[in-house]
Chain A
Amino acid sequence: MRADYLEIGGALAFVEQHGPEDGIPLLCLHTAGQSGVQWRGCSAGLAERGYRVVVPDLPGHGRSEPARGGPVTDLGTYAQWCLELVEALGLQRPYVAGCSIGGKITLDLACRASDRLAGVVAMAADAWTGGRPGERGLRRELSDVAAASRTDRTYLGTLAVVGRSVPRERAELIATMHRREDPAVSTSDLIGWTTHDLRDALAGVTCPAHLVVGADDLWLDAEAVRWAAGRIPGARCTVLSGIGHYPMEEIEGFAAVLDGWLRALAGTSAPQPEEVAAP
């Protein structure tokens, strides 16, 4: 693994890279308020499978400097930032995989730049949340970012959306690590999440796409994810039983799972069934 601070969007970005430089480029995007550390369990395994895995901390997250204009409330800004990163690293037609806001940024990238991508795996994201959670409440929370019991709510709220098949110890590790957030940034991320509407752009996606949602994910309605997949020409949709909002952290051996999905997108393996159980 190598790590660099790269100047993207006028600020330093912390970017991990795993695997051979001439590997299949794969950009991995984290969830709201979190960082690339969410991919630590699978980045090495993906590198072994021939990928050049690129894991950035989005601006204001993890070890990256804050975005120049302050916390980002428009996921399109992150998508643009990702394209700049792809450019800076000279990645040729990368795959993109992301989860939650990272999943929605992934979908956004497919909508705005399909011609520059080999394919996308968008996890725990739909095209439009229907305005939930409400933007007004989030903005209220933003005006008091130390809002009551924030860290306990992050911890317990994470536990509540981790899948029921995940062992307790693993679930608690995920939730404990999620306490490491800047509430101003994660709340802004959620404003981006709840206001970003990609419904009309889905039909224009031309790269292969796979939408994935956990059956135990309280944040997402599997039907809304299926609907979005149905709007993207040729897209696949998978509902993971026993899994919640963070598949890459919840599923043991996720590198093999994601590799399977990416191979299917590339057409080098048989399409998978729509509904599968988590391994």
Chain B
Amino acid sequence: MSTEQVLRPGTGQDPGAGRHFEDFAVGQRFTSAYRPVTAADLADFTRISGDDHPLHAGPDGILQGPFGVAIAMGLLQSLGLHGPAVLGLLDTHWSYRHPLRVGDEVRLELVIIRCRRTRRGDRGVVTRHMTLVGRDGTVVQEGTTSAMVAARNAGPDPVAPDPVHRAFGTVSWGEALVERLAPGFAESLATWDGTIGLRAGEHEVHLRIYRGRVIEVSRRAATGATFTVEADELTWLELVTAPANEFTRFAMTGRFGTRGDGYEYLRLTAALHLLVDAARDLGTQHPAGERA
């Protein structure tokens, strides 16, 4: 479940002018209008950046990579999400998938993938997965950006909707996950002694397990994880919102990776499937749109 909004720049549709930290929720999606890339763009960006490598010249010239980031931020402005509550941009992690040329048209597709209130409580970090997509559906560039956004009040966040249900890889998410585990989880790990790591982006939580019982949920178990299962936040989001538990499909296609003891990872195939069931149960309890 997610909200999908298509907004055009300059039409006065500006529902986000007053958007504060509390108004964002993991899973919200936004899509901009298409933006053409012009010869003037290439000339201007070459002049400003000073990057006049031959790749960026001539009728078939490729726009400089950071041009994509720049217009992504511009298209973000057109969505009206960045009102006065935005205090600053924190980071950008970006990949260039396909060249961007004069005459192309791209739009911004944005998904909120993490909302984390800071310790001070009066603000929070909102991380967005941003994709520039061509008319034919080609992903031209994509990445994540995080912004510091002022909160309307100092929190704590209301119990319902529960703010941890899609806080993938955090300790509170891990604790909520453990509460939702099916009985089969303990049965399948009745002889096991080890630690399962679950990682989403930079966040990792360890489930310390002894004879089927989760005896600790922490950022790091005393002797580390036996193995860790990992993916970026967007992949976790897609996993928990897919119509069925497709963990095996995701793992087979490399969308989930693993590090640590590969043998124990394989041994826990059934248990991991049940963990994902619990994550899906948790992740779809409170549709993101309800929070906005």
Contact = CB atoms under 8 A, between A and B. Distances in A.
Interface string B77-94: 000000000000000000
Interface in B243-292: 244, 246-249, 252-253, 263-264, 266-270, 273
Contact of A152 (B244, B263, B270): B270
B132 to A, nearest CB: 26
A147 B248 contact: no
A157 interface: yes
A156 B249 CA distance: 9
A218 B267 contact: no
Contact of A149 (B244, B246, B249, B267): B267
Given A159-B248, A160-B246, A160-B248, A153 B253 contact: no
Contacts of A89: none
B270 A149 contact: yes
Given A148-B263, A148-B264, A156-B248, A218 B269 contact: no
Contacts of A159: 248
Contacts of A152: 269-270, 273
B246 A156 contact: no
A147 B253 contact: no
A148 B253 contact: no
Contacts of A157: 248, 252
A156 B263 CA distance: 17
Contacts of B268: 149
Nearest to A153: B269
* Interface size band for A: 10 to 19
Chain A facing B: main interface SS? helix
B249 A218 contact: yes
B266 A153 contact: yes
B246 A148 contact: no
Interface in A207-263: 218
Interface string A161-189: 10000001000000000000000000000
Residue in A156, A157, A159, A161 with the greatest tally of chain B CB atoms within 10 Å: A156
A161 B250 CA distance: 11
A148 B249 contact: no
A160 B266 contact: no
A194 to B, nearest CB: 15
Interface string B123-149: 000000000000000000000000000
5 contacts: A148-B263, A149-B269, A152-B269, A152-B270, A152-B273
Interface of A: 147-149, 152-153, 156-157, 159-161, 168, 218
The 5 A-B residue pairs with the shortest CB-CB distance in the complex, in nearest-first order: A148-B267, A148-B266, A149-B269, A160-B248, A160-B249
Given A218-B252, A218-B253, 7 more contacts: A147-B263, A148-B266, A149-B268, A152-B269, A153-B269, A159-B248, A160-B246
